[in-house]
Amino acid sequence: MESSAPSTPTWTRASEAFLASLAGRSPRTRATYASGLRRFVEYLQTRHLDPDTLLADEVPLSFVEEYHAWLIDQFGRERRPTVVTYLAALRALCRFLDRRGWAAPDATYERVRERLAEVVGRGQYRTPRIDRRLPLIVTTADELALPPSGDAARRLTLLRDRALLHVLYSSGMRRAEVSRLDRDDLEDGWRGEALITGKGDKERVVFLSDEALAAVRRYLAERNDGYAPLFLRHDRGRGRPGPRGERYRLSPQSIWGIVGAYARLAGVRATPHAFRHTKASVMLNRGAKLSEVQDILGHASPETTKRIYAHYEVAHLREAFDRFSASPSELVANLGRARSSTAEPSAPQIDPASDLRPTRRAAKRRPGRSAG
């Protein structure tokens, strides 16, 4: 490799500068990129390269394809989403290096992006496997006996879980989005829509059913506090509340655990993400358009929605196909009926006395004309 200019930082320093440039992005995005870059450092170490001494412009384009192969070897082809996530972190860093003039001559951002597109290809989204019994998770929580007022922690926990499950089911929100909800977003359960910041820091409006809002109102009324988060921890080990109760906020991982617990109780295999798939499938089966589902779920690209849920449009096409198509035998039968209705009428039976009565044609003769 050619020697680099002194101003070019090491790979470690360049990575740190890149992560620092993400200060305006969500903490989740920064954490995801940091994790992906740590995987690339592991790959460099397998090549006996030290990121603390390796300069940023000494990483050639060929490393991109080799890194992809290494990830496949580490995680397997069935973990494709994980591999794509780690490659996205490298691609973002390469764009940063190219913008700063720190990239290798053959590793410009455009070339890295093209090479990644070649080696990764266009992914195939697996059709969601949706258990039609998923609503049982919600009704199971609703049917549980509410603990007495003297057992405040258990009573609040059940009321919270009921509200949480209704919100997940009716809105199709991600668990991280639900975790970030504040009670003001829903005006303490009296507002059926909320403006949230979802994946990729993109804003969208979400909607909640009347049942979900009623569950939220009952939970907040029982809480009787001024804490900002919509969903709180109610266990004894939650510690001090922090400013506006932020330390009590229910985490995305806790939401995962709550859904899992009620799913097991209902005898259904489900995760929080299954509620999104159920919301989409119900809407599509009832005639919603893919573009409408895209907006409700917050997919950045319509291609994502189409690739995941396009089979529902196929189902509607199949329904129309079956409803409006006809078999050859049906068409032949219809043809036979049409022919019989247009055939010449058979000769009428002659009544011996009919010649004594005037025919209809004779009765319609013009006045003044004789029958002879």
Catalytic residues: 174, 199, 273, 276, 299, 309
Report how far residue 297's alpha carbon sits from residue 305's, in angstroms, rounded to the nearest whole number.
9
Q: Dihedral through CA 10, CA 11, CA 16, CA 21, nearest 10?
A: 100
Largest CA distance in the chain: 128
CA 86 to chain centre: 21
Report how far residue 284's alpha carbon sits from residue 128's, in angstroms, rounded to the nearest whole number.
14
Residues 6+ positions from 222 with CB-CB distance below 8 Å? 155, 156, 159
Output the CA torsion sign for 315, 320, 323, 327: negative
Whether 154 contacts 147, CB under 8 Å: yes
Whether 46 contacts 3, CB under 8 Å: no
Q: Where are the alpha helices (H) located in 21-61, listed in sequence order?
A: 27-46
**At 163, phi and psi to the nearest 5?**
-65, -45
Burial pattern 9-22, b for ≥16 Cβ within 10 A else e, equals bbbbebbebbbeeb
Report how far residue 258's alpha carbon sits from residue 192's, in angstroms, rounded to the nearest whole number.
23
Output the CA torsion sign for 44, 47, 52, 53: negative
Report how far residue 37's alpha carbon sits from residue 39's, in angstroms, rounded to the nearest whole number.
5
Report how far residue 77's alpha carbon sits from residue 119's, in angstroms, rounded to the nearest whole number.
13
- Dig out the tokens for 264 from the structure: 């097991």
- Dig out the tokens for 198 from the structure: 């979802």
Classify 5 as helix, strand or coil: coil
Q: What is the CA radius of gyration of the chain?
A: 35
